[in-house]
Structure formats: structure tokens, C-alpha cells
Structure 1
Amino acid sequence: MATTTSRTYVRASIPGDAPAIRSLFKSSRQVYLTMGEEDLVAAVNKGQVLLHLQRTKAAPIALAAMAMLPEERPATLHESSPNRVFLRGVAIRRKGSPTTSIRQMLGTLVRMPRQQTEILIAYSSDAWSTRAYNTVGMMLAEKVRYYELDNLPRRRWADPPPSSERIVIEKATPADLRTLSMLDAVTFDPLWHIAARDLNDLMVRGPMLVAATGPFIVGYVSVLPEQSIATIARLAVHPQWQSQGIGRRLLIAGLRAAQPYRCGRALLNTQATNVRSQQLYRSMKFRLTGSHFSVFTQELPITVTGTPR
């Protein structure tokens, strides 16, 4: 499907576009890309990249590209929630207009054939993309702030007072993944759900601990130690078990699990609206880094009805 103006048009990628798209992402000044080259080429081959092209007497010139990654729907996502499509790459040719190109490509995307409602999710930490997403009418869903804790190897924490229920912090196992994905689904907004396969990836990459009472898991923490930074990738407590100090216990356990890796500091992020989490982090001497990003969404409506033959 292609949409056209007098001099420019937008179309989905075809396999032969791979060299031009790779070149555009490498040479453009305004670039956002969170996928490797192999994944980018795969997206091109599947038609998951939109191109904004300018007609010339010779070959068309690529003004911009937008790479998307449709998610395999998590089993825990509520049936009323739309399928999620993540914007993984945007490149704007030098001297090009991000707003003009993104408006053209987004307009094409909204009109493309689909039999189920989808939601496009885009992250932005750059002024040019934030301005463009705002201008074209995407919804600002969240603002996310980063916190850090320095001198991690030297930190010591007193154990929190015991809760009224006996809570045990222990290492997560692969058998826990389905339970953790269900816990994740009831704890976080659908925008932030992750599937069991993603939790498995986190478990492989670093320590993952659960808070359990008897046979029930009521929370978990995932830590990714990478070079000098230990990232708290996930911290969740079941809503019915919140405000009992379990989040603090999990965070302390996660930080202790990261210390043998000799990372100099710990890093995490949270929504700007999540006051409770921010209070916890500040009480444990985390401080704002000044880094942040915004989350934008765009509904992609059903455009095709009926049942295929």
C-alpha cells in the first residue's frame, strides 16, 4: 500500500530495499534505532519498514524510514487489549523534516489493512522525535525517569522488619515463569506487560529473585549486571501485597545479588506518575540521573472486516 502527495509518497518495504534502508540509518543525523542490522534487514524483508520517498527523474530518493516490530501477543494480555506494535527505528535524511515524514508514514500505517486493533508504541528521548510525535498527534502515554545508586559494591542495607506474613526471598526457576507473567499482568498497565519468553530472557541474563509466602509468589525482581552498571530491569509486587515492605525487601535482595559482579552503580527507571516507587528509591539513596524518555502511542484501527476465504 502506498500513499501519495504531488512529489512524495510512502510505501512498505520490499526485500530489494535493504541496502538503501541500511544506508539511510547509517548516514542520517536524526536516527533512533533499537534493533540490530540483522533484525532490521528481516523487518525490511517482511514489509515492516515504511519508506517516505521523493520522486526524481532518476530513482526515488529515500527521505525517511520507520521500522516496526509487531509483538507476538502475550498469553496474559487481556482479550480487550490491542495487539502491540513497537516502533524500533526512525531515520530522517539530512535536512529532512521529521514532522513531515513521520506524519506521512504514520498516516499510511493507520490506513494499512488490519483485522484486529493494534497500538503503536514509540519511545523518545530526543527533542526532534518528541516534537514530531507531539505535532502529528500521537498520545503521550508516559514519562519515565532514571534513578541511579553509586558505590554499589560498598553499600550495606539493614534487613527490613518482618511483615505480618512470612515472606521468603529465593531464586526464581524456569517453573516460575508462567506465574511471574501472570503476576506481571495484574501489576502493570498493559503498556508495560512482558511475556514469559521475555522473563526467561531476563532470567538467563542475570539474577532473578521471587518473594513467596507458602506456595504463592507475590513479587519478583530482575537484575541485569552488565560491565559497570547493574540494571534493575523489573520490580513487581502483586497489588494485594503492596505497602507491606515487600518491594523494599526485593530491591535490597536484588542489589545484594548484583554486588558480586562488581558493578559500580545500579540503575533503574520508573514512571513520573509512580510516586510510591520514587519514594522507595529515594529512601534507599537512589538519585535522579537527569535522563528520561517519553512513551507515545497511536491506535491503529481495524480497516478490513469479514472473514478471509
Structure 2
Amino acid sequence: MAAEVSQTLELERATAAHLPQIRRFLQQVRRRHVDFGAEDLPGLVDRAHFWLAQEGERLVGLLCVQVETRPTTLPPTAPTRGYVRAAAVAHGYSPAPLLAALLQRVEGELRAAGNVPAYQLMAYGSAPWLLAGLLAGDFTQVDSIQFYQLTSLQRRPLPEPPPQVAQLAPAHAEQMADLAVLDAAAFEPLWHFSRQDLLELLMRSRLQVALYQGELAGYSALSSNSEREMQLARLAVHPRFQGQGIGRQLLWDSIAHARQSGCHVLALNTQTSNRRSQDLYRRSGFQAVGTAIPVLVRLVR
């Protein structure tokens, strides 16, 4: 049975001096959640809320929360968002009390900063130990993410294209501010993409915009996961233009491009609460794969 947090456990803020120890720990520990590349670690230690749990000289747990630069398009009443970028717990230690203790230190830093009225911390409970640990730290499940795939694209005949109700065109950098406004209208604050998010998406994806009577009505983002698989990273239609077939047009365009590119599998994910998008994907031949991943949030005031 895993031990409770020991009275000899020391919690301390990570510094650059801890980097070698953190790297070794993340390579060795089995219960780990890491949402960044190795090259990002120094920057997170320097700028994010990165806390360690030490038993003597032994590192036994860590938690990293990164608060985003608040987008101007985030609604004024919405809390500033923060993301659990890393969590890890050594064998023999209970995730629930250890992560809860680390989370208290992160929250203390956030409250001490006093920059905004509230923060909304977000994490994916992709493993049972992580889910249990975050729930013990007063996170609440608000949704879940379901993954879908459209397989055998090279053998699958394309259906008839939907009516061309909108003009589709490649996106340009100067459109990102307007796209961020569209995105804020299409998604709840938890899922909103900022202008910077969209610029990064533009750099790594095929970003298409839908113009309806000269107005930006929607967009799609298609990126490559491998030689055989592509990812529909985003599909959004402004609420004013929903129900007219623009989403179906953007989806068909993405499927056609993936097939023409030699892709065999087109993957995507969406919230299980978004019934409208799930119906659209299922009607287009996508099938749910794997188990839905819980989405957890914690409000810090």
C-alpha cells in the first residue's frame, strides 16, 4: 500500500540547479504526466509554477502549472487560465496527498501574485493515478475528450461534396486577430484559442478560412502527425453562421486534402458534451476510438 506524505517531506520551488535531478526523475519514474518537450523544461522551471517534493536528497514528486498570458479575446468575466504541464509521483508514494500538497504551494504563489481575480487551472486525467491525485486537490471533472478516426482513406471513396455555401481560402497571418474573435464566439472560455495560439497553428498546419458573404464565418486546421496520419486540430464556425452547412464544407475539404496528400488515417478529438460536432463527425464516417479522457478544472481565487 502506498505511503502517505511523510512528515519529513520537503516542498521547494524548482530552480535551474534542480534541472539534472528533474530530468533523471522524469526518465525513471513511471507515474508521470508531461505535456512539453525536453527543450522546454528550463523555461518552465524559470517562469512557470514548478514545485518539487523531496524526501531527504531524493526527489519523489513534482508539479508544474503554467499560467498563460491572458488573451484580449477572453471574456472579461472568465478567469485567467493555467495548465498542468507536468505531474509525477515516485513509486511508494500516494499521488493524492502528494499532489494536493504541491498544489497548495502553487495556489499560494498564484494568490500572492494578486494579478487577477481568479485562475482556472486545467488538466487532463489521462491516467488513474493522476485523476485521483487531482481530484484530491479539489479539481472537478467538467467534461471529457473523445478521440475519433477516419481510417482507410486511400481505399475509401470520397462522398459527394456538400453545397459550396462559403468560399474556402488559405488563412493569412493578418486574419488571426479576427479569427481569435470568431473562436471566442464559437467556444467556451476554457477552450478558446488566442491570436498567439492561432499564429502557432498557422505555422504548423494547413489553416483554411470560410468566407460567407465576405465575412469570416469559420475555419479549419489540418496538421500532420506522421506520414500515414493527419490531425484535424480545429474546426470552428461562428454561431451566427451555424446550421448552414459551413462546418460540413470545411470538414469535407479537410478529408479531401488528407486523402490527396496520401494520408491513411484522419484523427480528431472533441468534447463529449459537444453533441453537434460528434454527430457531424459520425455522419462523415468517423468512429470513436479509445476511452474518453476526463477534463478537470480547479478555480483559484
**TM-score, L = length of structure 1:** 0.89
The answer (yes or no) to whether the contact 1:13–1:47 under 8 Å persists in 2 is no
2:99 paired residue number: 102
Moved more, 26-35 or 258-267: 258-267
Q: For 2:23 and 2:36, locate their aligned partners in 1 and report how far apart those are by CA, in whole Å.
A: 12
The answer (yes or no) to whether the contact 1:120–1:298 under 8 Å persists in 2 is yes
Return the offset for 1:45: 2.9
The answer (yes or no) to whether the contact 2:145–2:272 under 8 Å persists in 1 is yes
Residues 91-130 of structure 1 aligned to structure 2 (within 5 Å): 91-112=88-109, 113-115=112-114, 116=116, 117-130=118-131
2:162 paired residue number: 160
The answer (yes or no) to whether the contact 2:49–2:106 under 8 Å persists in 1 is no
Moved more, 107-116 or 226-235: 107-116
Moved more, 140-149 or 258-267: 258-267
The CA deviation string for residues 103-158 of structure 1, in whole angstroms up to 9 with x for no partner, is 11112222221212222111121111112222332111211100100012344021
2:16 paired residue number: 15
Return the offset for 1:259: 2.2
Residues 1-309 of structure 1 aligned to structure 2 (within 5 Å): 6-46=7-47, 48-54=49-55, 56=56, 60-112=57-109, 113-115=112-114, 116=116, 117-155=118-156, 156-161=158-163, 166-227=165-226, 228-301=228-301
Q: For 1:270 and 1:47, locate their aligned partners in 2 and report how far apart those are by CA, in whole Å.
A: 28
Return the offset for 1:101: 1.0
Return the offset for 1:203: 1.7
Return the offset for 1:205: 1.6
Secondary structure of 1:152's partner?
A: coil
Q: For 2:142 and 2:178, locate their aligned partners in 1 and report how far apart those are by CA, in whole Å.
A: 27
How many residue pairs match? The answer is 291
Unaligned runs of 5+ in 2: none
Secondary structure of 2:93's partner?
A: coil
For residue 268 of structure 1, what is the amino acid of its counterpart?
L
Flag as ranges the 4+ runs of structure 1 deviating above 4 A: none
The answer (yes or no) to whether the contact 2:97–2:136 under 8 Å persists in 1 is no
Secondary structure of 2:197's partner?
A: helix
Compared with structure 1, are the counterparts of its residues 246 and 108 closer, same or farther at alpha carbon in structure 2 (3 Å cutoff)?
same
The answer (yes or no) to whether the contact 2:48–2:66 under 8 Å persists in 1 is no
For residue 257 of structure 1, what is the amino acid of its counterpart?
H
CA RMSD between the two structures: 1.7
For residue 75 of structure 2, what is the amino acid of its counterpart?
H
Q: For 1:209 and 1:154, locate their aligned partners in 2 and report how far apart those are by CA, in whole Å.
A: 25
The answer (yes or no) to whether the contact 1:149–1:266 under 8 Å persists in 2 is yes
Unaligned runs of 5+ in 1: 302-309
For residue 12 of structure 1, what is the amino acid of its counterpart?
R
Return the offset for 1:71: 1.1
Q: For 2:14 and 2:22, locate their aligned partners in 1 and report how far apart those are by CA, in whole Å.
A: 9
Return the offset for 1:206: 2.3
For residue 220 of structure 1, what is the amino acid of its counterpart?
Y
Secondary structure of 1:18's partner?
A: helix
Percent identity over paired residues:
29
Q: For 1:128 and 1:262, locate their aligned partners in 2 and report how far apart those are by CA, in whole Å.
A: 39
The CA deviation string for residues 265-295 of structure 1, in whole angstroms up to 9 with x for no partner, is 1001111111111111111110011243221
Q: For 2:78 and 2:276, locate their aligned partners in 1 and report how far apart those are by CA, in whole Å.
A: 26
The answer (yes or no) to whether the contact 2:48–2:64 under 8 Å persists in 1 is no
Return the offset for 1:83: 1.6
The CA deviation string for residues 20-55 of structure 1, in whole angstroms up to 9 with x for no partner, is 11111111110110111221122223363111122x
Q: For 1:237 and 1:80, locate their aligned partners in 2 and report how far apart those are by CA, in whole Å.
A: 23
Compared with structure 1, are the counterparts of its residues 22 and 73 closer, same or farther at alpha carbon in structure 2 (3 Å cutoff)?
same
The CA deviation string for residues 215-267 of structure 1, in whole angstroms up to 9 with x for no partner, is 20101110002322110000000011111111111100111122232121100
